[in-house]
């Protein structure tokens, strides 16, 4: 088992947030947790376990962890040719600080199905948009990382940035889709499909052949879009649990 401080989440909450990986119920978790508390003095810890490992999930619950999210890992393949998109929109790399600021504002306002938006623990931060701050930081990280990329979806007629997408190139032919979406006022307008398809075309031009992403199972519109509409397939499911200190 391993525990690592999550730098971004810790800075936002102004206290150590630990990500626990490799949970093994045959090991002495109580001693492991005590060492983590002495070393890091955490205020919040998370652990993600494959959904089929019910014994492990129950074991963590016995140590005071609680369910906060059911997460799906989806996989998709990139078409050998561009998918035709009948649209007056362009999908281009974000470069200027002005454009970055717009994308950050979109990212901070469009997500509502994630565990940070739904976890009752964060009600104590009612004067702050914790989930929004978190997504701003993760998009900013993508701007600064050499292996991550940020794109804007632009209305060619008005010049308005109406959406965005981020991804990480993991290997020359594999990518991880990170964050993306369109402005709230354009949801259910078809722009989400356009954003995704233009993003797939961009991956193809980079030589990417397949990709994966993670989606909260409570985000029904996105699951329907990506599984039914875009042809993604479910490869794994996870239960995310957390404990507060």
Q: What average pLDDT is seen over the chain? A: 92
Give the per-residue pLDDT at 209.
94
* Domains in the chain, CATH or no CATH each: 2-71 (no CATH), 76-238 (3.40.630.30)
**Predicted confidence (pLDDT) per residue in 10-51, tens digit:** 999 999 999 999 999 999 999 999 999 999 999 999 999 999
**Predicted confidence (pLDDT) per residue in 92-103, tens digit:** 999 899 999 999
Q: Report which of 7, 6, 5 is spatially closest to residue 40, judged by C-alpha positions.
A: 5
Query: In the 8-state DSSP scheme, what is residue 157?
Result: T
Six-digit token string for 214: 């993670």
**Predicted confidence (pLDDT) per residue in 112-164, tens digit:** 888 888 899 988 887 888 889 999 999 999 999 999 999 999 999 999 999 99
Q: How far, in Å, CA of 150 to CA of 106, rounded?
A: 13
CB 146 within 8 A of CB 201: no
Give the per-residue pLDDT at 82.
79
Q: How far, in Å, CA of 17 to CA of 40, rounded?
A: 9
Q: How far, in Å, CA of 245 to CA of 243, rounded?
A: 7
CB atoms within 10 A of CB 126: 8
Mean pLDDT, rounded, for 193-213: 93
Give the per-residue pLDDT at 172.
92
Residue 84 reports pLDDT greater than 80: no
Mean pLDDT, rounded, for 164-185: 94
Mean pLDDT, rounded, for 183-208: 90
The model's pTM is 0.87
Return the percentage of the chain with pLDDT > 90, whole number: 74
Residue 83 reports pLDDT greater than 80: no
Burial degree of 118 (CB within 10 A; 0-12, 13-18, 19+) = middle
């Amino acid at each position: 088992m391993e525990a690592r401080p999550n730098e971004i989440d810790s800075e936002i909450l102004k206290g150590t947030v630990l990500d626990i990986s490799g949970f093994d119920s045959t090991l002495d978790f109580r001693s492991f947790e005590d060492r983590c508390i002495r070393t890091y003095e955490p205020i919040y810890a998370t652990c993600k376990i494959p959904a089929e490992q019910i014994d492990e999930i129950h074991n963590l619950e016995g140590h005071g962890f609680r369910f906060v999210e059911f997460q799906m890992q989806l996989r998709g393949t990139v078409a050998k040719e561009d998918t035709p998109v009948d649209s007056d929109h362009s999908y281009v790399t974000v470069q200027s600080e002005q454009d970055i600021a717009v994308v950050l504002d979109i990212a901070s306002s469009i997500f509502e199905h994630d565990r940070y938006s739904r976890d009752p623990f964060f009600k104590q931060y009612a004067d702050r948009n914790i989930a929004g701050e978190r997504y701003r930081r993760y998009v900013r990280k993508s701007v600064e990382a050499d292996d991550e990329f940020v794109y804007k979806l632009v209305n060619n007629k008005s010049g308005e940035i109406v959406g965005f997408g981020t991804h990480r190139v993991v290997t020359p032919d594999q990518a991880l889709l990170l964050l993306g979406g369109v402005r709230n006022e354009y949801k259910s307008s078809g722009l989400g499909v356009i954003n995704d398809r233009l993003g797939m075309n961009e991956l193809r031009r980079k030589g990417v052949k397949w990709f994966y992403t993670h989606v909260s199972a409570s985000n029904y519109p996105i699951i329907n879009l990506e599984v039914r509409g875009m042809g993604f397939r479910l490869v794994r499911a996870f239960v995310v649990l957390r404990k507060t200190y």
